[in-house]
Amino acid sequence: MRRDFSLSPAGRSGRPRKPIELMMTPMIDVIFLLLVFFLTTSSFQVLEQLMPSAISEASPASGSSDQPPPVPTQDAIDQVIIQLKLVGVQPVATVNGSDLPEFSQLKQRLRALSMARADVPVIIDPAGEVPAKDVIVAYDWARQVGLLRVYLATRK
């Protein structure tokens, strides 16, 4: 009784194994669909965490006058900081340290800024008690008048 001890590919049952075939077409299809999905859902905009850090350097106005502030010129604007706070139930805006009498005047001020320089960075810095709808209104006004770089300040 002689046994064959040759090294042929066989399973436990002694039958020869079938060669393993990888189905590449479905795998390529899945990879392609994932690639298309990630390309369509990603945004290629600059992240807001790269905002200028000069927010804390803004100083409040030392007094208010009855005269409206002058229309800014292109050379005088480096960045615009809009601080929003609540007085009673009404939001109040402060643009680069000068208070606006009414929140609705913010849109006219932003329009004047966009005419002087549309690419100036505008940083909206809301106080904690300001409702989100008022922050969104200020953001929308800035975008409507043509300001290109509108950011929201964050707190750590």
Cβ–Cβ < 8 Å for 146, 114: yes
Report if residue 150 sits inside a domain: yes
Cβ–Cβ < 8 Å for 138, 93: yes
Report if residue 68 sits inside a domain: no
Q: What is the pTM of this model?
A: 0.51
**What CATH number is associated with residue 129?**
3.30.420.270
Beta-strand pair 121-126/90-95: unpaired
Report if residue 135 sits inside a domain: yes
98 lies in which domain range?
A: 77-156
Counted domains in the chain: 1
Residue-wise pLDDT tens for the chain (156 aa)? 566 555 556 566 767 777 777 788 889 999 999 999 999 988 776 555 444 443 344 444 555 555 555 555 545 568 888 999 988 888 899 888 888 888 888 989 999 888 888 888 899 999 888 888 888 989 999 899 988 888 988 776
CA atoms of 61 and 106, how far apart (whole Å): 17
Report if residue 152 sits inside a domain: yes
